[in-house]
Structure 1
Amino acid sequence: MFQVVLVDDEALARNDVKSLIDWEKHGFTICGEAHNGAAAISIMERHVPHIAILDVSMPIMNGVELSRIIKNRFPKVKMIMLSSFDDYDYVRTCLMNGAMDYLLKHRLNSAALLSLLNKAVQDLQCEQREDEARNAQSKMIERLSPVILREYVANLVREVQEAGEELQLYAQDNGLFVHSVNYAAAAVQIVPFLLLTESFTDVQKNRFVQRVTDVMQMAVGDIHKRTAAYAGEGRFIVIFSSSERSEHTVTAQMNQAMSSLSHSLEKFLNLRCVHAIGPICRSLRQLAASYSKANQLMNDKFFVDLSAPVQRDSLLIEGQKQLLLFLEQLDGEKVQRVISSIFEAVRDEPVYSMTVQVIVSEMLRMVEKTLKRHSIEDNKIIPARSELGRLGTVGEFERWMSGCYASILEAIKQQQAGGTYSRHISQAVQFVMDHYASNISLEMAANAISLNSSYLSRRFKEETQMTFTEYLNRVRIKSSCLLMESGTYSMKHISSQVGFINYTYFFKVFKSITGMTPQAYMDSRKPSKK
């Protein structure tokens, strides 16, 4: 039944309209009557009708104003106007407000009324069909959205139960991979994903992944035939479908597509990747197994066995201690030797291995920690992490990291040698920082900076409030404290490491500067037992 509201200020006129036809017989019912526009709005707010028959001339709110409100608030309601001859200007305005037609009261009859009511029903049904078609199209677009398709594909990687079956059904329902007879999956790893994204926020990481996915998709082609999706931790899956029956041809197509993918990532995002292609299969249901094989090939080829990492981890931990120590000692030669020994342990591993990425990540954390401790801004010292995406060998990583640590050492030396000192005293302080572990003297420092030793001695005391020897001893004792905290060396070895020839003299100077013996200092640094 189609609901109709009658709006006329004359009850007699409303009764005339109601008596013209058998409403229910023709599929209509009067759901409300109102004597003015305001009352009609009140009725329609409680129950929206399909059709409204409106008198043009009414008190309080006439049909013109009412038609405007109905158009804005109830746009699906079909309006039929009732009018007298002298109301035609108003009727025209109502038609402009969306009314479908009008009836003259003195010519009102059952045929004319029924004709307009049926026309309203036709319009309503036509609009309903259009709405249903739009909704169906919208749902189809939603089902075919790249996000949803990629989620089905990514489930193949996540070992979701029946993921292959669900992808098969989704493809059948939406006309995907039509005419395909051969399928395969490839695993792709971004190099080095961890290093590039570990400092990203979740939003930044998602944007990065989306850019990578978009470039991959652009390279391999139509998403409904070849689909790239993110699997996690820098790993992506690409599925292929082909109407070619020759496996040799399909393999050639996949190799060409993956070559294009690698080239595009390097060209547009400055990223390197490695990949492996799984075996060809005959249905989407079998793609999970194809990816699993590709993933295994990837791990066998590019990623080391981490089942026995004890020796490597031990080397990294010891190397970290030494790096922190030698950074504080500003010993660039020893820093470079430690970096070389760390990378030597992974020299034969591919740069894509997680072990290499973890090592580089930890070394970068030490860089950041050191700069923070010395209150040095790192934006101009540490190279941008985006540069790591271009590195292709462990040797390149080692050279990149060596340059990074050399820059840090230089920044710390400049900071410590700077301050309010004059140029000559800054040079002398720098000489101390570079050579304190050797048997140096005031005369050697004076010769190095081309000054008279007496003049240097006087100026040094004036600016630093210490003699040259006092300053040198304080630097040596500070370094010895760091060596003690490392827990690696004996006391006598430490004394010689920082430039003291005589252990007894070291003992005396240490107590004089710190107020305690070396052993007492070591005991004070041990964690208290509760």
Structure 2
Amino acid sequence: MFRLLIVDDEERARTGIRTLIDWAAHRIEIVGEARDGAEALEIMKLNRVDILLTDIRMPVMDGLELIERVAEVYPNTKNVIMSGYDEFAYAQKAMTAGASRYLLKPSRRQEILDLVVQLTEEIADERREEERLEELKSGFRESFPFLKENALSRLALTERPPYDRLLANLKLNDISFPFTFFGALVVQIDDFHRVQQSYGSVDIELFKYALKNIAEETFAPLCRCAAFEHHDDLFLLLNAEEWLDAKTLVPYAEAIQRNSERYLKFTVSVGIGSFDRSIRHLRASCREAEKALNARFYGGNGKIADYLEAAEEEDFTHSSYPLADEKAVLQAIAKGEQAAIRDSLQAFLSALQPESSLKESVINSIFALYFALYRDCIEKNVNVHEVFGSGLDEITRMLARSGLEHIMASLTDTALKIAEHLNARKNGNRLFESVLAYVREHFRKDISRESVAREVYVTPGYISYLFKQQMQTSFIDYLHRIRIEHASRLLKDHSLRISDIAHESGYQDEKYFFQVFKKHTGMTPNQYRNNL
């Protein structure tokens, strides 16, 4: 059963929704009714609510605030907002706050029923997904992956493994290789660094476990297949009765890609190694599959590459580091023009010739540019923690486990963020100059930090921040300094009375003028005039 809560300050509306629709026929239970948001929250404390159907305009707590609270406390609840045409702006805010759908009032009962039934289907799908993930977790806990993984890894990746002992260990896990021909594939999660950040370390391990199951089940009709993880990549060891070429393996690789995207919600790339007699060929086949993926690094996500491309990689040339293009990137950042920054980064990438260079060479050059940006921030006193987060170590991990498209997107974001910091500083300098100019022009008047802030459209606190940052003084001390300098010039004219000079300098209280003047000059106005 799915549980529905109706919230509306009009009793007639609540009664109509409750009675005019046969909710039970659709496995929906009305868990309660509320006149406002506060009352609805009290009901939800005691009852699970799957779907919340609420009006916008209500006393005590309106629908918009209710949805914000529910989205925060009960994130699995589906929220439906009901609004009239003249309340469409509120409906838009509600969608942003966490509403799943909205209905225009007045709504026909079939419209309400159709929408609620659609939400129950979404809830059912989410519950099935949770159950499936729980089953995967249970299977993961009950298996013995570590012994199996270690044996498969040593069998395929070490130079002279103890074949007999490793095969005996694998037999304990019901894994055997009875056929003559051996080959390998590498399955790589595209932009692994981004996927890991999105899901977290626990979920990503679960997803890799699910990907192994998908891969092994996909190849089961063709040959024996055993999968293991190495440096976050998935290696598939294939054992077949006959020699298999890349053309035969590509449809199975494509099936892994489709199922990964469908069930795990991320894309993968696949490298295919060659087949040959003897289990000793596994190590060479794994290296071929890895090289094939590196050779297609420029090709983006969702690629399939075979060992023939790995052979071509041997002829790739290393690109030299484009210092001129690095300088153009730094200059574009200094100017703060977004289009120029993007163009200069694209020119930098083009200079690396990633389509004809080793992946390692391209990655090293991009890291060198990252380091140049980091150094530029230090030289220009930009907070590197705000720009780079935890530092260059995280960037190194991102470069190693991401596709070229994601790497360039991350590099572009970093460059734009630096430019934003520099532009903010420039804007702050221009604003401060306008503040100083205003004070110098209007110091004779009764001005204050608050009145100046209003003139330049900032807060008084920001005015104080600017003076402290730029001049290591306060606004009021600067104002007194300007006024006293002006008064000192006027004191040279002995025909002017000191009281007139005080007023002309912005002080209406002559006694206060004397106090401030002495504080700043060490003398009273009369002493200062006599010493001239």
Into which bin does the TM-score normalised by the smaller protein fall? 0.3 to 0.5
Relative contact order, higher structure (CA 8 A, sep 6+): 1
Report the TM-score, using the length of structure 2 for normalisation: 0.39
| TM-score, scaled relative to structure 1 | 0.39
Larger radius of gyration: 1
